Amino acid sequence: MLKGKTALVTGSTSGIGLGIAQVLASQGAHVVLNGFGDVDGPRAQVEAAGAAHDIRTGYHGADLSKVAEIEDLIAYSSREFGQIDILVNNAGIQHTSPVETFPLDRWDAIIAINLSSVFHTSRLVLPAMRQANWGRIINIASVHGLVGSAEKSAYVAAKHGVVGFTKVAALETATTGVTVNAICPGWVLTPLVQKQIDALAAQQGVSVEQAQAQLLGAKEPSKQFTTPEELGELAAFLCSSAGNNIRGVAWNMDGGWTAQ
């Protein structure tokens, strides 16, 4: 149970972040949401998930590619909720292109949002977590933090960076009640992946269903998507007392992708 704890989940207006926010709320945590697009819908879903525990939610629309806005997000969360006990670094974007033609602005944005923001949020929450001698930092990396795929140079570089950063932050907090870990999902059917399925369908001249089967078949032996709820359950497990001494792992939930 996470009653009395506050979780900040970045990129929680959609997909995996929203799923994790709902599961943490269902365990009693107050949740600060962040991300773009519709806020009221996701916020209502998180509040409904936590209704039995009378949880509170907050929202801050920081653009995580901007350091000053990240600082504002952490200041807002601490001001409104006392302190952040659980930080889930989830916000992320994707762009696919060969290295030679990779757009420079996409490279910079992916490194800033998928990697550098993890450093900035972590450095800002760690002092209070150390002070409380309890904290959880959970970084949503990817199988692409462990292995590569063609045309994803920025994403794979950023996610490998997240896994490396996770290990170092875990070592620096190893004698404290603060743990730092990464989760490495395979395919999860969210807007981020739907874009890749639609592009594949257009490129191959096949239906969206056929493109989806092709995408799963190429990499994921289970041939099934992991769900945001399953990832939320894993995050909740890392937050439980069973996670007290789990440190610096890159824990896959990938249908066997990286077992091959």
- Active site positions, annotated: 155
Q: How far is the CB of 9 from ligand NAD (least distance, A)?
A: 9
Q: How far is the CB of 43 from ligand NAD (least distance, A)?
A: 12
Both tokens assigned to 242:
């069973």
Cα–Cα distance, 47 to 209 (Å, whole number)? 33
Nearer Cβ to ligand NAD, position 114 or 122? 114
Cα–Cα distance, 198 to 144 (Å, whole number)? 20
Q: How far is the CB of 144 from ligand NAD (least distance, A)?
A: 7
Tell me the number of residues near ligand NAD by CB under 6 A: 28
Judged by CB under 6 A, the residue of 5, 25, 35, 146 near ligand NAD is: 35
Cβ contact 115:65 at 8 Å: no
Cα–Cα distance, 171 to 48 (Å, whole number)? 37
Q: Does 91 bind ligand NAD (CB under 6 A)?
A: yes
Of the candidates 162, 3, 30, 187, the residue with the CA atom closest to the CA atom of residue 90 = 162
At 193, the amino acid letter reads: V
Tell me which stretch binds ligand NAD (CB under 6 A): 10-18, 76-84, 130-138, 209-217.
Answer: 10-18
Judged by CB under 6 A, the residue of 192, 200, 206, 246 near ligand NAD is: 192
Burial 207-226 (b: 16+ CB within 10 A, else e): eeeebbeebbeebbeeeebb
Nearer Cβ to ligand NAD, position 13 or 173? 13
Cα–Cα distance, 33 to 35 (Å, whole number)? 7
Angle, vertex CA 223, rays to CA 46 and CA 187, nearest 5: 45
Q: Does 190 bind ligand NAD (CB under 6 A)?
A: yes
Q: Does 232 bind ligand NAD (CB under 6 A)?
A: no
Q: How far is the CB of 113 from ligand NAD (least distance, A)?
A: 5
Q: Does 13 bind ligand NAD (CB under 6 A)?
A: yes
Judged by CB under 6 A, the residue of 4, 37, 41, 103 near ligand NAD is: 37
Say what angle helices 40-49 and 15-26 make with each other, to 10 degrees: 30
Tell me which stretch binds ligand NAD (CB under 6 A): 43-51, 89-97, 166-174, 241-249.
Answer: 89-97
Return residues touching ligand NAD (CB under 6 A): 11, 13-17, 34-37, 63-65, 90-93, 113-114, 140, 142, 185, 187-188, 190-193
